[in-house]
């Protein structure tokens, strides 16, 4: 008999077809997020679960005694309680690599958008404020030939570095847990310690995964090291920075601007001070949000899940579960 799985969102038809060849699919059909008690009920006899950010904790695992695998349609998996999943014998998979180029495109959208004040000046025109004689009040900053500092030179970091070096002729420097000699050679990238990178970059791009080591990594001290005309871009996770410290730096002229795709609390509440800052460009966590990339991620999540239920090694098993999967 085919194993039963639960999917808490809509999937492309071809992905559902692929899953149906190996699994019995139970799917949440509503647009709103499935309520927690209903999720527990639907998982009661499920062996697999496909989601994209739902918290997997002890309470959920207790409600799903037959669960073997949770496949998340995301690179990040900080919504997984890894230790609890191990105790319950549930494996976790994710979808890295497929979205690298798409996220790198978005990083450059944020860099260009905030430095050339695209959203701010769009509002300026729409509000009827554009007048003959406008001059320096519309000026922005160049991206080309500027110095880019990348914090976290993983796959996405390298995709950003390639665009920066060969598309915009930027000087590329980076900070990472370990040196990347191949990346240095490919992109003429220079390794810097974090403080020096912050002090010498025109654009600082945050691309580290969220972990205990990177939580709150950039705070008041770090923003104070940056140039007053520099821009900070965060496309990693909101919790990697101290958001209050960023707000203070933007309000007080400590840095010129910020482009953010991620926040400490998502969705952003209407009382968040960032919403009232013209030098902050804000996006609703859309780093991978193109039709092709999201469809590719969904297919990879489906392949991960089917492989586990078939007793095979999935393409992208989360590292912490490698011992458990043997």
Provide the residue-wise pLDDT of the chain in tens; the chain has 326 residues.
899 999 999 999 999 999 999 999 999 999 899 999 999 999 999 999 999 989 999 999 999 999 999 999 999 898 999 999 999 999 999 999 999 999 999 999 999 999 999 999 999 999 999 999 999 999 999 999 999 999 999 999 999 999 999 999 999 999 999 999 999 999 999 999 999 999 999 999 999 999 999 999 999 999 999 999 999 999 999 999 999 999 999 999 999 999 999 999 999 999 999 999 999 999 999 999 999 999 999 999 999 999 999 999 999 999 899 876 55
Tell me, yes or no, if the pTM score tops 0.75: yes
**Per the structure block, which two tokens stand in for 92?**
């976790």
**Catalytic option among 58, 59, 169, 266:** 266
For 4-98+291-321, which CATH superfamily applies?
A: NAD(P)-binding Rossmann-like Domain (3.40.50.720)
Extract the runs of DSSP E, i.e. beta strands, from 192-298: 203-206, 231-234, 257-260, 280-282
**Catalytic option among 163, 237, 256, 294:** 237
Q: Is 266 a catalytic residue?
A: yes
Provide CATH code, domain 100-282.
Answer: 3.40.50.720
Q: Is 237 a catalytic residue?
A: yes
Return the number of other C-beta atoms located less than 10 Å from residue 88's C-beta: 17
Let me know if the fold of 4-98+291-321 is the same as that of 100-282: yes
**Catalytic option among 40, 79, 285, 320:** 285
Question: What is the pLDDT at residue 324?
Answer: 63
Question: What is the pLDDT at residue 323?
Answer: 74
Q: Is 273 exposed, middle or buried (0-12, 13-18, 19+ CB in 10 A)?
A: middle
CB-based contact 242:264 (threshold 8 Å): no
Smallest CA-to-CA distance from 195 within 160, 226, 230 is with 226
Distance CA 135, CA 153 (A): 38
Q: Is 228 a catalytic residue?
A: no
**Per the structure block, which two tokens stand in for 162?**
């390639």
Would you kindly state where each structural domain of the chain is located, as residue ranges?
4-98+291-321, 100-282
Using DSSP's 3-state secondary structure scheme, residue 206 falls into strand
Distance CA 260, CA 106 (A): 10
Helix segments in 6-139, DSSP class H: 13-20, 36-43, 58-62, 82-87, 100-115, 118-126
CA terminus-to-terminus distance, the chain: 24
Distance CA 260, CA 119 (A): 13
Smallest CA-to-CA distance from 76 within 6, 148, 156 is with 156
């Amino acid at each position: 008999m085919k194993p039963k799985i639960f999917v808490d969102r809509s999937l492309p038809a071809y992905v559902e077809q692929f899953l149906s060849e190996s699994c019995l699919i139970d799917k949440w059909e509503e647009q709103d997020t499935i309520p927690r008690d209903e999720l527990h009920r639907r998982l009661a006899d499920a062996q697999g679960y496909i989601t994209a950010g739902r918290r997997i904790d002890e309470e959920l695992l207790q409600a799903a005694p037959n669960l073997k695998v949770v496949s998340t349609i995301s690179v990040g998996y900080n919504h997984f309680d890894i230790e609890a999943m191990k105790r319950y014998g549930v494996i976790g998979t994710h979808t890295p690599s497929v979205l690298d180029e798409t996220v790198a495109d978005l990083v450059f959208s944020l860099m260009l958008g905030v430095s050339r004040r695209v959203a701010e000046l769009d509002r300026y025109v729409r509000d009827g404020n554009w007048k003959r004689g406008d001059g320096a009040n519309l000026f922005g900053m160049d991206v080309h030939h500027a110095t880019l500092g990348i914090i976290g030179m993983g796959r996405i970091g390298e995709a950003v570095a390639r665009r920066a070096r060969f598309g915009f002729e930027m000087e590329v420097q980076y900070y990472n847990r370990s040196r990347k000699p191949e990346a240095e050679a490919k992109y003429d990238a220079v390794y810097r310690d974090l403080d020096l990178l912050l002090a010498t970059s025109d654009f600082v791009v945050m691309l580290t995964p969220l972990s205990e080591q990177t939580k709150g990594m950039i705070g008041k001290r770090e923003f104070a090291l940056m140039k007053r005309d520099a821009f900070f871009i965060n496309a990693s996770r909101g919790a990697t920075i101290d958001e209050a410290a960023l707000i203070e730096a933007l309000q007080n002229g400590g840095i010129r601007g910020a482009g953010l795709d991620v926040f400490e609390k998502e969705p952003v509440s209407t009382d968040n001070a960032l919403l009232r800052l013209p030098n902050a460009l804000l996006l609703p966590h859309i780093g991978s949000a193109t039709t092709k990339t999201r469809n590719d991620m969904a297919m990879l999540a489906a392949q991960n899940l089917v492989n586990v239920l078939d007793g095979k090694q999935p393409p992208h098993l989360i590292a912490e579960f490698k011992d458990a999967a043997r």
